[in-house]
């Protein structure tokens, strides 16, 4: 399935058409909404979310927050490595190897948190996924990413959430600080 998706993207390149379609919807209200959604998955926000989760919850939330921090760091490191290796120019023209377009780190982080926490808090599944999808759309709306950057970012976030869930017992035993 993944190879078929990659073939379709490389052959038909729907990125430009989707980007242009989303860009045609720009409005002052949309700018405000999507800037806010994008900011909610910035690096500082993605660090703050596990900290707040730990501070507001009990012992279970503390263990989950540790897993969120370790898994989030692994997600971020993977995104950074791929960005560095691919060095894809952003739709707005920015060309910076350390901040390239592919994949979307905001979307990877949002999907990592949404997927992980939706397993732990099933009642929050729908709002968590609405938030993560909104973050992904915001990155295209704000002309920071191509749609394929967002799709791959979501996949990376999902993958690392599943790996974190699988290894959370080992993560719980890790000493992160003394």
Write the pLDDT tens digit of every residue in 112-166: 999 999 999 999 999 999 999 999 999 999 999 989 999 999 999 999 999 999 9
Q: For domain 28-173, which architecture applies?
A: Up-down Bundle (1.20)
pLDDT of residue 5: 62
- Taking the domains of the chain in order of start, what are their residue ranges? 28-173
Percent of the chain with pLDDT over 90: 53
C-beta separation of 91 from 145 below 8 A: yes
CA distances to 80, 119, 145, 156 from 138, rounded to whole Å, are 20, 24, 9, 18
| Residue ranges in the chain assigned as alpha helix (H) | 2-12, 15-23, 28-39, 43-56, 59-86, 105-120, 125-141, 147-166, 168-173
- Give 53's Cβ-side CA count (13 Å radius): 22
Give the tokens for residue 160.
Answer: 């690392």
pLDDT of residue 165: 95
Helix (H) or strand (E) holding 144: none
pLDDT of residue 4: 67
pLDDT of residue 10: 61
**Bigger pLDDT: 7 or 22?**
22
* Pairwise CA distance, residues 121 & 143, whole Å: 32
**Which pTM was predicted?**
0.88
Residue of 160, 161, 155 whose CA lies nearest to 136: 155
C-beta separation of 112 from 104 below 8 A: no
Residue of 141, 176, 147 whose CA lies nearest to 65: 176
**Bigger pLDDT: 93 or 177?**
93
């Amino acid at each position: 399935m993944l190879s078929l998706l990659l073939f379709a993207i490389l052959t038909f390149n729907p990125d430009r058409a989707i980007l242009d379609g989303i860009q045609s919807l720009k409005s002052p209200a949309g700018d405000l909404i999507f800037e806010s959604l994008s900011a909610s998955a910035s690096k500082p926000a993605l660090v703050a979310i596990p900290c707040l989760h730990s501070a507001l919850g009990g012992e279970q939330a503390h263990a989950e927050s540790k897993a969120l921090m370790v898994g989030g760091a692994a997600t971020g490191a993977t995104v950074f490595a791929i960005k560095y290796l691919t060095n894809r120019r952003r739709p707005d023209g920015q060309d910076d190897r350390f901040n390239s377009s592919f994949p979307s780190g905001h979307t990877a982080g949002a999907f990592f948190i949404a997927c992980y926490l939706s397993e732990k808090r099933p009642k929050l599944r729908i709002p968590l996924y609405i938030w993560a999808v909104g973050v992904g759309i915001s990155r295209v709306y704000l002309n920071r990413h191509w749609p394929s950057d967002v799709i791959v970012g979501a996949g990376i976030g999902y993958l690392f959430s599943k790996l974190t869930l699988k290894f959370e017992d080992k993560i719980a035993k890790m000493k992160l600080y003394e």
